[in-house]
């Protein structure tokens, strides 16, 4: 019963305060993704979607960050599509630790973004019901996770922002943020399709010239 009180208190605080608290802990000792999951309480998928998207908005982070976040997003998406209420992540990703550079970058740039989102988002309800909404979000998050795994350059930011908007929407039951996240996800899918088409066309032309 002693562990329940801290978790209940963390569920009452604002997102920016909770995330800043976790990042402060991460400056004094190694901090893993698994510990983040354990501290999110009932905020579940929404908070993790929001938090894990922050590194994709920071260009100073080392290359390959999307290869960690992308698979986690697809895992979350499958769980949402199957009706899971709380997120689960394999040990391979749970044991990943945040580097000191990542923590500092998130504190410097990520927290202000979260505070700005908090000022704009408020409960507006889900028009299609929670179960259907969660599955729609799952489809979009799955596609964004796949895009983050793709080798196409400069396509990390848009999928990350889409998933972060959806995460905030789940936390606050905000239909406006939900629509914005879905719209950005559609734009990201369209850009990937266009980019893939251009690449295929260029390769086809190159092969025709060589033959």
Q: Which carries the bigger pLDDT value, residue 99 or residue 208?
A: 208
Report percent pLDDT > 70 for the chain.
82
Domain count, the chain: 1
Interval 27-74: pLDDT, tens: 777 777 777 777 765 567 887 788 778 777 765 555 566 777 888 889
CA distance 77 to 45: 9
Q: Is 162 helix (H, G, I), strand (E, B) or coil?
A: helix
CA distance 7 to 39: 7
Interval 129-138: pLDDT, tens: 777 888 888 8
Q: What is the pTM of this model?
A: 0.73
Q: Provide the angle, in degrees to the nearest 10, between the axes of the packed helices 66-81 and 130-149.
A: 150
Q: Residue 69: count other Cβ atoms within 10 Å of its Cβ.
A: 25
Task: Please compute, for residue 197, the number of CA atoms within 13 A of its CA located in the half-sphere on the CB side.
Answer: 6
Residue 148, domain extent: 4-210
* pLDDT band for position 2 (cuts 50, 70, 90): very low
Position 10 pLDDT exceeds 70? no
Q: Which residue has the tokens 């290869």?
A: 67
Q: Which carries the bigger pLDDT value, residue 19 or residue 154?
A: 19
Mean pLDDT across the chain? 77
* pLDDT band for position 108 (cuts 50, 70, 90): confident
Question: What's the pLDDT score for residue 58?
Answer: 65
Contact between 159 and 185 under an 8 Å Cβ cutoff? The reply is yes
Helix (H) or strand (E) holding 187: helix 175-210
CA distance 67 to 64: 5
């Amino acid at each position: 019963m002693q562990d329940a009180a801290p978790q209940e208190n963390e569920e009452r605080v604002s997102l920016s305060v909770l995330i800043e608290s976790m990042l402060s802990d991460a400056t004094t000792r190694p901090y893993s993704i698994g510990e983040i999951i354990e501290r999110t309480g009932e905020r579940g998928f929404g908070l993790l979607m929001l938090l894990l998207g922050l590194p994709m908005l920071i260009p100073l982070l080392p290359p390959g960050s999307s290869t960690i976040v992308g698979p986690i997003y697809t895992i979350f998406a499958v769980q949402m599509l199957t009706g899971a209420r709380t997120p689960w992540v394999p040990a391979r990703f749970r044991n990943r630790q945040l580097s000191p550079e990542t923590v500092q970058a998130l504190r410097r740039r990520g927290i202000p973004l979260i505070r700005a989102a908090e000022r704009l988002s408020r409960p507006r309800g889900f028009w299609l019901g929670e179960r259907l909404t969660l599955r729609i979000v799952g489809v979009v998050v799955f596609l964004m996770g796949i895009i983050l795994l793709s080798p196409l350059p400069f396509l990390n930011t848009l999928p990350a922002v889409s998933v972060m908007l959806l995460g905030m929407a789940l936390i606050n039951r905000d239909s406006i943020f939900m629509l914005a996240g879905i719209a950005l996800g559609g734009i990201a899918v369209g850009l990937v399709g266009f980019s893939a088409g251009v690449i295929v066309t260029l390769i086809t032309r190159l092969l025709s010239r060589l033959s």
